[in-house]
Structure 1
Amino acid sequence: MTIEQLHQIFLQYPQVCTDTRKITPNCIFFALKGENFNGNDYASQAVESGASFAVVDNAEVAKENKMILVNDVLKTLQSLSRFHRNYCKAKVIGLTGSNGKTTTKELITAVLSTKYKTVATKGNLNNHIGVPLTLLSIKNDTEIAVVEMGANHLKEIEFLCGIAEPDYGYITNFGKAHLEGFGSEEGVIKAKSELYNYLIDNNKPIFFNADDPIQRSKIEPVIKKYGYSQDNSQYYNIKLVDADPFVKLEVEDITITSQLIGRYNFSNCCAAILIGKYFSLDLKEIKQGIENYIPQNNRSQIIHKNGHHIILDAYNANPTSMKAALENFKEISGDYKIVFLGDMFELGSLAEKEHQYISDLAIAMDFSEINLIGENFFTTNNTLKKFKSFDELRQSLQDTPIPQSATILIKGSRGMALERILDLL
């Protein structure tokens, strides 16, 4: 079966599923493979559960009814999504970066949705499977698609650009993320810049932070570039007014007060404003989109519980985002400030150095109490409260509850699941 023929079937049944636990009526099930599973083994179950068809790459399974046999299910999913992306008229904005991708994606979507029919990556489904699924969510009436692209190795962004074929692009920043895969900060810059390379090669517009010297140098020769800056009048001016705790900014004499904490979210808001202006939104629409956006999923959430003022930023962490979170926490007001820091993953040989650096930084900021959780932080050289596992932390908090009315920062990598601390307060 050709991709064109499969696409005709998809147009009749425009729902795709890759998990038999989430089958929806009349969807198409794609039997993907993983390290510990083979979707072909569940294709029959998918059809029995309501899928109209199952795309498989096992000839024996394909003998059953409603099976579509292909050479490689994953490659077929990717090819189908690229075909569908070009079949539809939606403009695609590609988005990557070390930190803030998902928040920036959601802010851009919140702004553009005030005027346009917009779809965007769900959650952080931004890899070689998530990007195709996002593209296949585009409808005939979709005007703009905001596609988040993640990577932890070189050439991954290049590959995803080949699927999504973005019309525009934005890189949030270049930070110390996935150093195990990229090898160094230089590797991070090279990998994330693959989005720039695609846009430059195809003469597509680039949005960028003109106050970031790395971004500025990378696209110096580009003609179709649109930047924002706090001070440089050559670019669109947006001023940071305050961030205690919520980011407040000023643009064209209009004040926008977000529901996002931390200076590090200023640039995320700026990107949404800049892109909104490019797509001809007026500032009232932009202001509405940003001010109505409420962060969720453990990303820079402010929570009040049992008299405590809590900043929950436990969705993910790397040295760059950890440093930004600590610097922001230092600036906000609070009489008794407690920090809970969980291990940062995917740092490879740099793990020991980076965890020591973050613990030293936290000590220098002189918080009332600092708690380090995880095997990497446990080996750092200091006299802080250290817990090799979450269970050890749990026992400590049960034995010695924290003081009332504390201001608390919770920050760590996803695998640490530090949101569990909320249940202990």
Structure 2
Amino acid sequence: MKLTKNDILRIPHLSALGFEEGNFIINGVSTDSRTIKPKDMFIALVGSKYDGHDFVSKAVDAGASAIVVEHKWAKLNGEMLNSIHVPKIIVENSTLALGQLALQIRKKYKIPFIAVGGSNGKTTTKEMIAQILATKYNVLKTEGNQNNQIGVPRTLFNLNAKHEVGVIEVGTNHPGEINYLCSIILPTHGIITNIGREHLEFFHSLKGVSKAEGELFEWIITNNGLLFVNFDDKYIKSLSLKARKKVTYGINARKVDIKGRILSINGNAHPLIKIMPKGKKAFEVVVRVPGLHNAQNALAAIAVGTIMKVPTSNIQRALSLFQPPENRMQVKQIAGVTVINDSYNANPDSMLASLATIKRMKSTGRKIAVLADMLELGDKEREMHALIGKSISRSKIDILLTYGTLARIIHDSSFPKEKMHFESKESLVLYLASNLRRGDIVLIKGSHGMRMDEVASSLINKLMQEAKG
């Protein structure tokens, strides 16, 4: 990554100080004074829990060659600003400046960029796409789920001349966010995994979710890009109606460009899919991640790989070796107990998908669901938690263990063979560790804010210690 003086001065700013003489190159951009290297630019971001302006001096002392600060801070700290002898950009909003700098990098490279959005499965789908494309291309991808107005620019700062394609995840919990991210990414291709009941506190309804996620398709259509359209989802199908360039795929839909058919699901809930691209030879793919919803994610990735001319054998091999991202349907077998760590996040649709997966898994023991609150559901929160509770019996769950204020509603609405509610994660883990038997399957899931990954990691550690004797 390199930014010239001209690149920097192209971003919207109120004033630029110290740029009068000579040319210089910025080799990196950092928002953390602890990671600053010589010839880096430091951007002072303002967050809910921190203010990067408190670390401007440390960044300069660490070798920052230029800084970006907000006008409000500069106005109150003029003496300090004048004492800093590196070029300075003063902006209205440093987070927007971060995005604009990333845009300058993006514009330097005329390569395909695939933006991946959707309510559920976008990180897994993004990783599947990247793994397939990486068998043929040098791929820049979003690391983890850095899919917001800070994470996306950070990914783009890693873009260089060696990259041949970008795969970028875009997330939202407020209207307008995806449109903004697209204005930085300049995606040439777009895919929305599905439309589900996410962030209802802000979007209010499925139509609201569809409108927000649909900003991706709207941007792609306006800029004459290519859509990958999940025809199994009526909302996504509707969002694509105006598209001139699109590739359709689906498992249940009939008239699509790339058709998938579930041939079987093994005892670990791994799907075997027959892929039938229009006008091409059919082939089969084994998905080594449990759940029918992951068959849908895999089909999306296969559609991208097919259009990007990745050989069939590469697609098959990439998916056969695929491992899910951290805390997303990660399966560990310890001392005869199967732990499914799906703790990264939860909404009603992803919760139902996980319960459907454990229902399909073969077990010689009991099936245990450990569920926590689903957050950001607004005035639908009681209704949605009751919905999950009522689904427990249909999911063939033997034991339900819940944690959290809202998860109490799941507990009260369900009728498994056994159920128990816990007031602390510590007591929940202790109960689990002392009551699990060989052959049991344990699903752990809840919204990110509930930090059920702590339950999963504590349980796994206790099981491993017991296994060692």
- Shorter-chain TM range is over 0.9
Task: Name the TM-score, length of structure 2 as normaliser.
Answer: 0.84
Out of 235, 239, 246, the position equivalent to 2:270 is 246
| 2:337–2:436 Cα contact (<8 Å) kept | no
**Number of residue pairs aligned between Structure 1 and Structure 2:** 424
TM-score (norm 1): 0.93
User: Alignment partner for residue 267 of structure 1, among 296, 303, 306?
Assistant: 296
* Shift in alpha-carbon separation, 1:7–1:145, aligned structure 2, 3 A: farther
Say whether 1:307 aligns with 2:346. no
> What is residue 258 of structure 2 aligned with on the other side?
236
CA deviation vs aligned residue, 1:354-384 (integer Å, no higher than 9, x gap):
1111011113333221111111012453463
Would you say 1:416 and 2:466 are equivalent positions? no
Cα distance between partner residues in 2 of 1:281 and 1:258 = 17
Structure 2: how far apart are the matches of 1:11 and 1:410?
Answer: 52
**Are 1:36 and 2:49 an aligned pair?**
yes
1:404 is the counterpart of 2:438:
yes
Taking the aligned partners of 1:403 and 1:242, their CA distance within structure 2 comes to 28
Q: Distance in 2 between matches of 1:121 and 1:250?
A: 29
Amino acid at match of 1:53: A
Identity of aligned residues (%): 33
The residue that corresponds to 1:327 in the other structure is: 356
1:175 and 1:289 map into 2 onto residues whose CA distance is 28
User: What is the CA-CA distance between 1:149 and the residue it aligns to?
Assistant: 0.8
Structure 2 CA distance for partners of 1:303 and 1:51, relative to 1, 3 Å = farther
**CA offsets 1:31-86 (integer angstroms, 9 cap, x no match):** 11112221111022123334443322343343313352321322221111112211
| Max Rg structure | 2
Partner Cα separation in structure 2 for residue 85 and residue 161 of structure 1: 11
CA contact (8 A) 1:341 1:411 kept: yes
Tell me whether 6-15 or 130-139 shows the greater mean CA deviation.
6-15
Displacement of 1:2 in angstroms is 7.2
Q: Which residue of 1 aligns with 2:183?
A: 162
How far apart, in 2, do the equivalents of 1:223 and 1:342 lie? 43
Q: Would you say the 8 A contact 2:328–2:342 is kept in 1? A: yes
Shift of 1:313: 0.6
Alpha-carbon shift at residue 4 of structure 1 (Å): 2.1
CA deviation vs aligned residue, 1:257-283 (integer Å, no higher than 9, x gap): 222111111111111111111111111
Give runs of aligned pairs for residues 2-401 of structure 1, distance below 5 A: 4-5=7-8, 12-24=25-37, 26-57=39-70, 58-59=73-74, 60=78, 61-63=80-82, 64-71=84-91, 72-230=93-251, 232-244=254-266, 245-251=269-275, 252-335=281-364, 336-380=366-410, 381-382=412-413, 384-397=419-432, 400-401=434-435
Gapped regions of structure 2 (runs ≥ 5): 12-18, 276-280, 464-469
Residue ranges of structure 1 left out of the alignment (5+ in a row) = none
Greater alpha carbon shift after TM alignment, 218-227 vs 233-242? 233-242
Distance in 2 between the 1:204 and 1:188 partners? 22
Structure 2 Cα separation of the partners of residues 55 and 123 of structure 1: 26
Q: Which stretch has the larger CA shift, 213-222 or 53-62?
A: 53-62
Contact 2:358 / 2:395 at 8 angstroms: preserved in 1? no
Counterpart AA for 1:69:
I
Q: Provide Cα deviations, 1:159-190, integer angstroms capped at 9, x if missing partner.
A: 22222221110000000111111111111011
Is contact 2:124-2:325 (8 Å) kept? Answer: no
In structure 2, C-alpha distance between the alignment counterparts of 1:177 and 1:42, rounded to whole Å: 36
Aligned mates of 2:148, 2:55 — CA distance in 1: 23
